[in-house]
Amino acid sequence: MKSSLQNTEALLPERLTRQGAGLTASEQALALALGRDYPHALLESATALATRTGTSPSTVVRLFAKLGYASYAEAQREARGEVTALLQTAAERAPATLGAQRSLRECVDDALLHDQHNIQATRGELDMAAFEAMARRLAQAGGGRVYVLAQINSAPVSAWLALHLNMCRPGVQELDAGAVSPADQLLWVRPGDVLLAFSVSRYARGTVQVARRFREAGGQVLAITDGPASPLVPLAHHWLQVRTSNASPFHSYTAAFFLCNALVSAVAQLRRKSVSEALARRDALWEEFEHQIAAPASGRPAPRGRTTKGR
């Protein structure tokens, strides 16, 4: 059976609307209670839900089976994802995600279900016009430099983006990395330059400040964020939305890497000839550096076939 979390159009309220005419009186009473207090009603056990709504645990199980859920636990996973999407901090999300008594196997399954949902929802909601505009702008190597920025917990996204965009085009620089401060890195921003910024709630003030300064300097701002309420959206010339709900108190970045991977893939496709040539040069550079590292202490060059594979 297809998971509810894999179907971005099958959340509980919509299922209740579709199924309404086929419910018994007790199931209808339960459905009304769920509709009034969704998604928080599903954070309690089936027994507690039945007691609170004046029904029975068997009615709860029967209703969710009619609604197409594999189990009540699957509906709870959906509800936790909806709750955590509304809360900003890990401390606020902890009671919703850690309150239930889950087995370690369920932790694995929950993480998989949420990440599948995040990826499919991100793809389903993708603004293709904005995606294409961002990819084409990033592919213009002669159009200025590209600055990549993501702070605090999102920093690995920035590092991944900067690394792979640098293999596709020249002039890519990760902001807020290394000894030079972002203020000094932005000293020479020109109107043709691009800032690619990533930020999810709670939104890092520094990312928003850099985006504002960058735009004031005449640069173009491209953003990847978790919704229209993000303070990056009003500053962005184009923006994309990514889903980050999780089975733990912490944001999931799986869909963020999916979206970034798609963006890098599109840039590489648009620059396929120059990217192929650049990657061939990169392989030659790696071979040269590995050959020097592998050389024995005597100074004699190592055999050409001995190279380090992990890179």
Q: What pLDDT was estimated at residue 2?
A: 41
Q: For residues 287 and 155, what is the distance between their CA atoms, to the nearest angstrom?
A: 29
> How high is the mean pLDDT of the chain?
83
Residue 4 reports pLDDT greater than 50: no
pLDDT in tens, 205-256: 888 999 999 999 999 999 999 989 899 999 999 999 999 887 787 888 999 9
Domains of the chain, each with CATH number or no CATH:
4-123 (no CATH), 125-270 (3.40.50.10490)
Q: What pLDDT was estimated at residue 238?
A: 97
**Nearest in space to 244 (alpha carbons), one of 257, 255, 234, 236:** 255
